[in-house]
Amino acid sequence: MVKDLYFNFAIPPQAVLLSKAKKMRITLTDGSTLEVQAGTSPLDLLRRNGRDQVAKTVAAKVNGVVIDLNRPLVMDSTLEYLTFDSPEGREVLLHSCAHLMAHAVKELYPEAQLGIGPALEDTFYYDILLPEFLTPEDLPRIETKMMQLVKRALPIERKEISRDEAINLFEQRGEGLKVELLKEMEEQISIYQQGGFVDLCRGPHLPNTVALKHFKLLSLAGAYWRGDESLPMLQRIYGTVYSTAEALEDHLKRYEEAKARDHRRLGKLLDLFSFHPEAPGTPFWHPKGLVLYDQVVNYWRDIHARNGYVEVRTPIVLSDILWRRSGHYEHYRQNMYFTRQEERDFAVKPMNCPGGLLIFKTYQLSYRDLPKRFAELGMVHRFEKSGELHGLIRVRAFTQDDAHIYCLPEQIEEEVIDLIGLIQEIYSTFGFNDVRVELSTQPEKSIGSDEIWRRSEAALEGALKKIQLHYELNPGEGAFYGPKIDFHIRDCLNRWWQCGTIQLDFSMPELFELEYIGADGQKHRPVMLHRAILGSLERFIGLLIEQYAGDFPLWLAPIQGRILPITDQQHDYAVQIHQQLQAAGLRVEVDQRSEKIGYKIRQAELEKIPVMLIIGKKEVEAGTVSLRLKGKGDQGSRTTEEISAYMRDLIEKKQGIA
C-alpha cells in the first residue's frame, strides 16, 4: 500500500545516457514530432503555444505515465497534455488541493501530524492527527488560510532525496506518521514543497497553487491510522475543487442533494433499518425495510427462474480445509472470520463459490446437461475495518446474489452474452440505465497457468466484441482465479457504483476436480462462470434508497397506500376499503388517529407514501374514495375497484405513480 501511495516516476537506465545528449525527439498526440534540448519540460513546450494553453493544462503524460508539467524530459518520449476535464487531470487537481489543505492546517496547527491525503473520484481527503477535534465551524477558518496560500501563487516543486534524508527531514518537522511510512519504503523518495510546506508524495502536482481557488471543504470524519483500531484516531477532512466557479457550484448542489438522499438518514426517517454496536457493520432490518428487501428478492427470483436458473443454498460455516483448497485462505484470509470447534478449524464463508462447487460434485452430468445454472442468495461475512463501514454501502455481513454457471468451453461466449442481456434488463427495471463496462485481466497474485488466463481473457473479450458493447480495459484487476467483466451503474447524482460482475474460471473446476461426461464418453472439466448482478443486496438497496430519495415506484414501496378518514365517523368504511385492497394484494394501511386531515396528509407525504385515499362523509355516501398522489395532489373520486386496478397496473409495469 505504501509503495502505491508514494512511488517515483521510474526513469529507465538508457535515459541516463540520452539525458547527456543535446537533442531528443518528442512525439505528440497528433503524431507530429519535435526535436528539443534534453532537460526541456512539458511546461516549456506548452508555453510556446501561448498562455491560454498553459492555463487549461494540469499535467503531462509521458510514455504513458502522468508527471508534473515542470518535470524535465530526459529521453525520446511520447507526450500528451492533460486538462482539468480529463480523469487523470482531475485527479492531479484534487490531489494538489489536498496538499493545499494540509498546508493550511499545518499553518493553523503547527503541531499537527499528517497521515495520507488521496484524491477520490470527485473529492479528496487528508487524515491528520491533531491535538484537538475539529468541528464543522472550524472549516471556514481553514478555507480562509487556503485562499491566502492560493493568492501567493506558490510554486509546487518536486525533489528526490534518499530515504535516510527524508526520515531526518520529517523527524525534524515532527511528522511521526510520515516517518513510520518512510521506514517501510524503498531508498529513493520524492517530496513536494510549496512555500514552507513539505510533504512526502509521489505526485504529480500542479506547477503552483494559483489554479486551486475554486475549492470547498465538505465534512469531517474520524479514521484510525492505517485502519487499525488500536492506533490513534485521526481526523479526516473532506473537500473538493474544480477549475471553474460554475463547476464547483454544480458539485455543491449535487452534494446537498446527496445529503438529502443519504440512505442512512432516509433509513431512519422511513423506519427501514438500523445499526447497533452489538453487531457492528451489520444491518437490522425493520418491518418496512424487510418488505422492501423482499420485493427486490421476489423480482430477482422470478427473473432468474424465467432465465433457466435453479436456486440453491449452502452453509455459512465450512471447514478451513475447503478454503485452503479454493485458494481463499491464501488470498483472502485477512478478511475472513474463523472459529474452532471440536479441535477442527472452520471459517465463516466470505464467498458462496466453494459451497456451490460441492453441490455440483454430487451430480453425475453429461455434456447434454450443460450449461447448469445454480443461483444463490447467500449470506457472506467479510471483515471490513470499522473506519471503512458506511451504512448499507459497506457492511460486514451481506447477501450476495450469486450464480455459478457450469458449461462447455464452446458455450462460454453464448452464456456471457445472455448474462449481459440479463444484467441490462435488471438494471433497467430498477431505473439504472447508464452502465459502464470494464474488462479486468490477470492480477499480480493469481492461480492457474498464464495460458489458461490468456484463453479466459480472450473468451470474455470475444463476447464483448461480438455484441459490440463498449468496454474499458482494467489491467491487473481480475479476481485471483480468473478475468472478469465488471458493470458500473450511474445514479441520479452522477456517481458510479460497481455492482455486477461476470468472472470466468478454469482454475476452480480443476482444483475441485469437477467432471462431466463428454460426447466421447470420457470425463472432462467444465468451465465455471461466477456471476453477481446486484452484488450485495444490502448495498444495492442502499443505492435504491438514494436513487429514488425514498420515493419508490409502487412495486417497491413498503407501504403502497394509506387510507385517511377525515373523522372517526368514517373509520368503519375505511376498514372495509382496507380489507378490499388487501385482498387485491396491495400493501395498504389505515390512519385511525384522531388528527386533522391536513396533518395526516403531511405525515403521509413525509413518510413518502405514494397513494393516499381520503374518506369523508361524501365518499361514504357515494361508495368512493378521494385519490391523492404524493407530490401530485388530488386526483378526484374513484371506486375501490378503480383504485385497485390503477395500482395493480403500475405494480405489474414496475412504474412509479403517474
Residue 133 sits in the same domain as residue 164: yes
Question: Rounded CA gap, 571 and 214, in Å?
Answer: 58
CATH assignment at residue 598? 3.40.50.800
Structure confidence at residue 446 (pLDDT): 85
CATH assignment at residue 205? 3.30.980.10
Q: Is residue 225 part of a domain?
A: yes
pLDDT > 90 fraction of the chain, expressed in percent and rounded: 76
Q: Is residue 581 part of a domain?
A: yes
The model's pLDDT over 478-489, given as tens digits with 9 standing for 90+, comes to 888 889 999 999
Hey, is 366 helix, strand or coil?
strand
Question: Rounded CA gap, 233 and 304, in Å?
Answer: 46
CATH assignment at residue 31? 3.10.20.30
* Amino acid residing at 454: R
Query: What range does the domain containing 624 cover?
Result: 561-653
The answer, yes or no, to whether residue 282 has pLDDT greater than 60, is yes
Beta bridge partners of 340: 345
Catalytically active residues, by annotation: 353, 382, 400, 402, 404, 484, 530
How many residues are present in the chain?
Answer: 658
Residue 40 sits in the same domain as residue 102: no
Q: Is residue 555 part of a domain?
A: no
Residue 257 sits in the same domain as residue 288: no
The model's pLDDT over 391-445, given as tens digits with 9 standing for 90+, comes to 999 999 999 999 999 999 899 999 999 999 999 999 999 999 999 999 999 888 8
Residue 22 sits in the same domain as residue 63: yes
Contact 470, 436 (CB under 8 A): no
Residue 493 sits in the same domain as residue 519: yes
Residue 385 sits in the same domain as residue 407: yes
Structure confidence at residue 385 (pLDDT): 81
Structure confidence at residue 17 as a pLDDT band (50, 70, 90): very low
Residue 30 sits in the same domain as residue 123: no
The model's pLDDT over 23-57, given as tens digits with 9 standing for 90+, comes to 889 999 888 888 888 889 999 888 876 656 677 88
| Three cell numbers, residue 475 | 489491467
Residue 224: what are its φ and ψ, rounded to 5°?
-70, 140
The answer, yes or no, to whether residue 653 has pLDDT greater than 70, is yes
Single out the residue in 83, 107, 133 at which a domain terminates.
Answer: 83
Question: Rounded CA gap, 329 and 652, in Å?
Answer: 45
Contact 27, 79 (CB under 8 A): yes
Q: Is residue 279 part of a domain?
A: no
Q: Is residue 269 part of a domain?
A: no
Question: Rounded CA gap, 156 and 99, in Å?
Answer: 10
Question: Rounded CA gap, 350 and 337, in Å?
Answer: 8
Contact 607, 645 (CB under 8 A): no
Cα angle, residue 124 at apex, residues 120 and 127 outer, rounded to 5°? 115
The model's pLDDT over 248-265, given as tens digits with 9 standing for 90+, comes to 999 999 889 988 999 999
Q: State the helix-helix crossing angle for 139-151 and 87-108, rounded to 10 degrees.
A: 110
Q: Tell me how many helices (H) and strands (E) the chain has.
A: 22, 32
Residue 120 sits in the same domain as residue 219: yes
Residue 241 sits in the same domain as residue 296: no
The answer, yes or no, to whether residue 122 has pLDDT greater than 70, is yes
Residue 473 sits in the same domain as residue 615: no
Query: Mean pLDDT over residues 634-657, rounded?
Result: 94
Beta bridge partners of 26: 34, 77
Single out the residue in 83, 99, 121 at which a domain terminates.
Answer: 83
Single out the residue in 55, 83, 111 at which a domain terminates.
Answer: 83
Q: Is residue 553 part of a domain?
A: no
Q: Is residue 344 part of a domain?
A: no
Residues 6+ apart with CB under 8 A from 61: 67, 79, 80, 81, 82, 88
Q: Is residue 214 part of a domain?
A: yes
Query: Mean pLDDT over residues 281-294, rounded?
Result: 97
Residue 577 sits in the same domain as residue 538: no
- Number of domains observed in the structure of the chain: 4
CATH assignment at residue 466? 3.30.930.10
Question: Rounded CA gap, 226 and 638, in Å?
Answer: 61
Residue 102 sits in the same domain as residue 242: yes
Residue 528: what are its φ and ψ, rounded to 5°?
-120, 130
* Amino acid residing at 164: D
